[in-house]
Amino acid sequence: MHDGAQVFDCSIRDLSEGGARVTVPATQPLPSHVYLINLRDGLAYESVVVWKRGSEAGLSFLKTHQVGELGGTELAYLKRLWVERAAR
């Protein structure tokens, strides 16, 4: 079950319809299944990690969610995270 217990910041380096290349702290453990939140566009991508080299990782998108529409769902924590981080 995903609940936002493990949260960390990253930088999106490349973004396409099917995936992204992100930069994460090199020592950050990366689970095989993650949600990538695009703060600017208000999207959350359900993703699998397909590679990791040092501080970079490649993600393949499984599903895209409009973060603003996630209130009251099991993914509502993504909306909370989006609001918190976008306010920075």
**Domain residues of the chain, as ranges?**
11-86
> Comparing C-alpha atoms, which of 72, 56, 63, 73 is closest to residue 36?
63
Comparing 2 with 74, the larger pLDDT belongs to 74
8-state DSSP, 28: -
CB atoms within 10 A of CB 43: 18
Give the tens place of pLDDT for each residue, 4-60.
778 899 999 999 999 999 999 888 889 999 999 999 999 999 999 999 999 999 999
Kindly report the pTM of this predicted structure. 0.90
CATH topology of domain 11-86: Ribosomal Protein L25; Chain P (2.40.240)
User: What pLDDT does 1 receive?
Assistant: 44
